[in-house]
Amino acid sequence: MDFKILSAKNYSVKLKVTIQSTGKLGFTEATAKALKLSKDSGVKFAMNDKEELFLINCEQCDEDAFKVLKGGDYFSVNTKGLFDNLGLDYKTNNIIFDMIKENNEDMEVYKLLKREKPRK
């Protein structure tokens, strides 16, 4: 019988992103490090037929990607227009996405699982 080891190092970092009240998507320090974000990188968003949201990490920003911005030690992307179009109420609610890595040979893809609670 063949086994595939599911290494703890692949599951020890909780990846998440948060929509800031400005509409920007902010990356935690651990997430930015795991995705190897830089000022040259970008992220793309995709939706499947179930209307599940996905983030695609790109080493280089292209015309379909949101450019990664760096402010101090933190990374973000200007996603206000996207989230407004999707009808996400990030001004009233604190919206956090847990990121689950998807199996994809061509791209680095993460499923975004939404958690929402009222802002204080």
Cβ partners under 8 Å of residue 24, min gap 6 = 69, 76, 77, 78, 79, 80
pLDDT digits (tens, 9 = 90+) for 30-70: 999 999 999 999 999 999 999 999 999 999 999 999 999 99
Residue 5: the pLDDT is 83
Residue 13: the pLDDT is 67
pLDDT digits (tens, 9 = 90+) for 18-39: 999 999 999 999 999 999 999 9
Nearest one of 21, 31, 25 to 89, comparing CA atoms: 21
